[in-house]
């Protein structure tokens, strides 16, 4: 999500969407769709050699720079982008890409100059302004970052990403009220824009001292199915906010343990029905109610793996084991996770061995021995 939560494209391929001309650029799209980067590079080099005076060569050099970057050759990438600008000094995509390349390479001054040039070369696009603001904000110059994002907003007033970025810059300059106004505008533009919901929760809960309203936005953030590791941060904040809620009803509140248990049971049932995204949200709400619920964290891990989110699964498993280091199900789950993801075979073997030692009568210990033998035989090969 970056500093601002705005989605910033790192490299612009082709600069202006799908090309209108047939030939090399159609083949380029086909090669990229199939991840045939070498084929794409060959096609572009052949086109450049055979069309030295074509206006499309400017574009071809830019695309060649992007391909070289994706192939890991930053020197050739920079050379191709510079060739593009040599043919057309105001070609915005090449200036943008070269700026990012320079910033990543440590040339902060020239990189920023290229980015700002790109923003002026194409006054309809906002990506160079957003990226520049992201970098400048990271340096702590929030005033300039806000100015750049205001300029980007002038070009695209209804961009939820730009409005969210502007809000986070305003939070550090003009204060939380201006930030809340921009975040609400972001939601008007896109009612389900997750970064705006998350940041509304943070600003209300931490900056305005209103954990009730902050919690409601974080619940909505989780309800819309945000499925990245940021959801764990939302869960932590929601738990913190709930601890600070002041009861206004005379009725006895429902214990958090009971609410958490209800969400956990619902999550398990949803997993059985393969409604994995809904199950994930249920388990997330369970740990938001009770942050020490090992079964809920194990449910998050299972749902996340089914949704191909191993990073979120690992975070949940680590938290379950911090709460209860010798929990049988958590110990099995982490061993199976390491085995399945092949992230650390040696650690998977070690975890299986610990499980066997702790629970020799568990029927899964036999499976653990078989997996250890399989891992070791594969490693020897």
Q: Tell me the CATH number at 91.
A: 1.25.40.10
CA distances from 248 to 34, 75, 79, 253, 272 (A): 59, 64, 66, 10, 38
pLDDT of residue 14: 37
Q: Is the pLDDT of residue 248 over 50?
A: no
Region at 14 (left for phi over 0; alpha for psi -120 to 50; beta for the rest): left
pLDDT digit string (tens) for 115-131?
999 999 999 999 999 99
Residue 100's nearest CA partner among 60, 123, 70 is 70
Residue 149 domain-assigned (yes or no): no
pLDDT number for residue 290? 81
Average pLDDT of span 86-114:
93
The answer to whether residue 352 scores a pLDDT higher than 90 is yes
pLDDT at 98: 94
Total domains, the chain: 2
**Percent of the chain residues topping a pLDDT of 70:** 85
Long-range contact pairs involving 275-282 (C-beta distance under 8 Å, separation at least 24) = 276/303, 276/306, 276/307, 277/225, 277/227, 277/303, 277/307, 279/303, 280/225, 280/227, 280/304, 280/307, 281/222, 281/223, 281/225
Q: Percent of the chain at pLDDT above 90?
A: 51
The per-residue pLDDT for range 168-181, each reduced to its tens digit, is 999 999 999 999 99
Domain for residue 76, yes or no? yes
- Which residues neighbour 3 within 8 Å (Cβ) at sequence distance 6 or greater? 134, 137, 138, 165, 168
Q: Is residue 278 part of a domain?
A: no
pTM: 0.70
Distances (CA, A) of 176 to 135, 152, 209, 229, 234: 22, 21, 11, 25, 19
pLDDT at residue 30 in the model: 54
Q: Which of 85, 114, 139 delimits the end of a domain? A: 139
Look at residue 259 and tell me if it is in a domain.
no
Q: Which residues contact 183 (CB under 8 A, 6 or more apart)?
A: 163, 164, 167, 196, 199, 200, 203
Whether 257 is covered by a domain: the verdict is no
152 within domain boundaries: no
Parent domain of 357 = 325-381
pLDDT digits (tens, 9 = 90+) for 45-70: 988 998 888 889 999 999 999 999 98
Q: What pLDDT does residue 229 have?
A: 67
The more confidently predicted of residues 349 and 287 is: 349
Domain boundary among 139, 167, 199: 139
At residue 20, the pLDDT reads: 37
- Which candidate, 301, 288, 297, 304, places its Cα nearest to that of 228? 304
41 lies in some domain: yes
Residue 355's pLDDT is what? 94
Which whole-number Å values give the CA distances from 129 to 115, 169, 171, 260, in the listed order? 7, 14, 19, 44
Helix pair angle (276-289, 230-244), 10° resolution: 40
Q: Which of 52-56, 139-143, 226-230, 305-309 is the least confident region? A: 226-230
Show which of 123, 139, 155 is a domain's final residue: 139
Using CB atoms within 10 Å of the CB of residue 52, give its burial: 0 to 12 exposed, 13 to 18 middle, 19+ buried: exposed
d(CA 266, CA 253): 21
In a domain, 4, yes or no: yes
From 226-230, 256-260, 288-292, 324-328, the region with the lowest mean pLDDT: 226-230
């Amino acid at each position: 999500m970056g500093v601002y939560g705005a989605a910033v494209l790192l490299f612009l391929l082709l600069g202006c969407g799908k090309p209108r001309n047939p030939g090399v650029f159609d083949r380029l799209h086909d090669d990229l769709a199939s991840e045939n980067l070498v084929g794409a590079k060959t096609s572009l080099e052949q086109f450049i050699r055979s069309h030295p005076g074509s206006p499309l060569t400017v574009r071809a050099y830019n695309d060649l720079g992007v391909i070289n970057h994706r192939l890991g050759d930053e020197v050739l990438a920079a050379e191709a982008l510079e060739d593009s600008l040599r043919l057309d000094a105001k070609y915005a995509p090449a200036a943008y890409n070269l700026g990012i390349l320079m910033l990543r390479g440590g040339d902060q001054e020239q990189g920023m100059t290229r980015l700002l040039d790109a923003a002026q070369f194409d006054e309809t696009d906002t990506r160079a302004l957003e990226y520049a603001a992201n970098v400048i904000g990271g340096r702590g110059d929030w005033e300039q970052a806000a100015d750049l994002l205001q300029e980007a907003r002038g070009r695209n007033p209804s961009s939820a990403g730009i409005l969210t970025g502007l809000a986070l810059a305003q939070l550090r300059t003009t204060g939380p009220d201006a930030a809340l106004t921009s975040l609400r505008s972001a939601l008007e533009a896109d009612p389900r824009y997750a970064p705006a919901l998350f940041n509304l929760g943070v600003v209300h809960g931490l900056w305005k001292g209103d954990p009730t309203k902050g919690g409601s936005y974080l619940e909505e953030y989780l309800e819309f199915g945000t499925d990245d590791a940021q959801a764990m941060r939302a869960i932590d904040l929601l738990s913190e906010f709930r601890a600070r809620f002041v009861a206004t009803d005379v009725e006895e509140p429902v214990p958090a343990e009971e609410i958490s248990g209800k969400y956990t049971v619902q999550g398990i049932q949803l997993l059985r029905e393969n409604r994995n995204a809904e199950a994930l949200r249920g388990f997330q709400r369970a740990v938001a109610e009770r942050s020490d619920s090992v079964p809920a964290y194990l449910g998050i891990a299972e749902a996340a793996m089914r949704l191909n989110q191993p990073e979120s699964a690992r975070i949940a498993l680590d938290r379950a084991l911090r709460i209860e280091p010798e929990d049988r199900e958590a110990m099995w789950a982490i061993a199976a996770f390491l085995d399945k993801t092949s992230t650390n075979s040696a650690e998977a073997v070690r975890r299986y061995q610990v499980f066997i030692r702790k629970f020799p009568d568990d029927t899964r210990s036999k499976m653990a021995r078989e997996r250890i033998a399989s891992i070791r035989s594969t490693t020897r090969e």
